[in-house]
C-alpha cells in the first residue's frame, strides 16, 4: 500500500461562493474520521489556523495513530497579506510572512513532521503595470531563501499554482518553482506538485515530475483532478485518467516514496467515499505497473511509432483486449 494522506481541512466544513458543505469539526474529530477512512495514515495540517498547539496536536495524532505528511503554512489569510505577503511593497509585511513560515517549521519540529509546504497564493497580480516583476522576484528569492535556511532539517517545499487568490500567481509552474530554488541555492528545499494545479495550468504533470526528478531538489505530491479550466479538486482519475496513469508511472519509475496527499474537496459527495476513491484508484494503478512490461513500453516509446504504443495502452492500461 502507498503512503496516503489527507489535507484535513477537507474533512470538515467547506464553502464556495454560494454554498456550505459538511459540518464543522474539531481537529480531534477530523483525526477520528481519518482513522475510519481506509488506506490513509497521514495528515497535512494547516498552520496556524487549523492547528497551533503542538502538544494538543501530538496527543491527537497519537490517539488516532496518525503521522504528519506535512505542515501547510498559510500566508494568505491575514488582512495584511491581501496584496501579497512575501512580495509586499512593505518590508514589515514581508518579514511577517517569513516569520509565519519559520514558526511553521518550529511547529513541524515539535509535532514530528519532516517538512513544511507553502503555496504563496497571495503573491501575484491582476493587471499590467501593477508590479515591478524583477523586484517581486527578488523578494520571493530573499523571503523563501531566509525561511528555507531556517531549521534546514525541516525542508521547505514551495507549492506552485496558476491563480487564486491572485489573478496570476508569481510561482505558477514547475519550471518557475525550480527557477526560484535555483536562485536560492538551498538543496534542502523542494517543490510541492499538485496534479490539479499542473493540469489547469496547461502543464503535463508527468513531464513536470520528470523535470523535478532531474533537478537537485525534493518533491512532494498532492493528488486530485479537475476539468483543466479551474482547480475543482475532484477525486482522482475522473477527468484525466490517462494523464493520471502516466503521472503515477513516472513517480513509480523514479522511486517516489513520500506521501500522496489528497488535496480533494468532497463537496456534494460523501467524505469517506471520496477519499477512499482516491486511495482505491491510486493503489490499483500503482499495482497495475507491477503487471505491465515496462521494458516493452519503453521500447515502444523509443521506437517513435505511437500507433503501436497506443495498442499497448489499449491492452494493458485501458484493458481493451
Give me the pLDDT at residue 77, please.
Answer: 87
pLDDT surpassing 90 at residue 12: yes
The string of DSSP letters for 224-289 reads: -B--SSS---BPTTSS-HHHHHHHHHHHHHTT--S-EEE----SSS-HHHHHHHHHHHHHHHHHHH
pLDDT band at 32 (very low <50, low <70, confident <90, very high): very high
pLDDT tens by residue, 50-89: 999 999 999 999 999 999 999 999 998 889 999 999 999 9
Mean pLDDT over all residues of the chain? Answer: 97
pLDDT surpassing 90 at residue 281: yes
Residues whose CB falls within 8 Å of the CB of residue 206, separated by 6 or more in sequence, listed in order: 243, 246, 247, 249, 250
Burial class (CB in 10 A: 0-12, 13-18, 19+), 290: exposed
pLDDT surpassing 90 at residue 1: no
Domain boundaries, given as residue ranges, for the chain = 4-292
pLDDT tens by residue, 119-152: 999 999 999 999 999 999 999 999 999 999 999 9
Overall pTM surpassing 0.95 (yes/no): yes
Nearest in space to 194 (alpha carbons), one of 121, 283, 136, 296: 121
pLDDT band at 321 (very low <50, low <70, confident <90, very high): confident
What's the CATH fold of domain 4-292?
TIM Barrel (3.20.20)
Give me the pLDDT at residue 41, please.
Answer: 97
Amino acid at each position: 500500500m502507498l503512503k496516503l494522506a489527507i489535507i484535513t481541512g477537507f474533512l470538515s466544513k467547506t464553502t464556495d461562493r454560494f454554498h456550505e458543505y459538511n459540518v464543522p469539526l474539531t481537529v480531534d474529530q477530523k483525526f477520528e474520521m481519518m482513522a475510519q477512512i481506509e488506506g490513509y495514515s497521514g495528515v497535512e495540517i494547516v498552520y496556524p489556523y487549523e492547528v497551533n498547539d503542538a502538544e494538543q496536536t501530538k496527543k491527537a495524532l497519537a490517539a488516532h495513530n496518525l503521522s504528519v505528511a506535512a505542515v501547510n503554512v498559510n500566508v494568505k489569510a491575514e488582512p495584511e497579506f491581501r496584496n501579497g505577503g512575501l512580495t509586499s511593497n512593505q518590508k514589515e509585511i514581508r518579514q511577517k510572512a517569513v516569520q509565519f513560515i519559520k514558526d511553521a517549521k518550529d511547529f513541524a519540529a515539535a509535532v514530528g513532521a519532516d517538512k513544511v509546504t507553502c503555496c504563496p497564493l497571495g503573491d501575484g497580480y491582476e493587471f499590467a503595470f501593477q508590479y515591478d516583476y524583477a523586484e517581486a522576484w527578488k523578494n520571493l528569492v530573499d523571503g523563501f531563501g531566509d525561511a528555507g535556511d531556517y531549521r534546514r532539517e525541516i525542508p521547505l517545499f514551495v507549492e506552485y499554482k496558476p491563480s487564486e487568490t491572485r489573478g496570476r500567481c508569481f510561482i505558477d509552474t514547475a519550471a518557475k518553482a525550480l527557477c526560484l530554488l535555483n536562485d536560492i541555492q538551498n538543496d534542502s528545499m523542494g517543490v510541492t506538485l499538485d496534479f490539479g494545479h499542473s493540469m489547469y495550468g496547461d502543464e503535463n504533470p508527468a513531464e513536470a515530475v520528470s523535470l523535478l526528478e532531474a533537478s537537485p531538489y525534493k518533491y512532494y505530491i498532492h493528488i486530485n483532478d479537475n476539468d483543466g479550466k479551474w482547480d475543482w479538486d475532484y477525486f482522482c482519475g475522473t477527468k484525466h485518467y490517462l494523464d493520471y496513469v502516466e503521472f503515477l508511472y513516472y513517480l513509480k519509475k523514479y522511486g517516489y516514496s513520500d506521501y500522496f496527499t489528497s488535496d480533494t474537496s468532497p463537496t456534494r459527495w460523501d467524505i469517506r467515499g471520496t477519499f477512499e476513491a482516491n486511495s482505491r484508484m491510486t493503489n490499483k494503478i500503482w499495482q497495475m505497473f507491477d503487471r505491465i512490461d515496462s521494458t516493452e513500453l519503453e521500447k515502444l516509446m523509443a521506437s517513435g511509432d505511437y500507433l503501436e504504443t497506443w495498442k499497448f495502452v489499449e491492452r494493458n492500461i485501458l484493458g481493451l483486449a
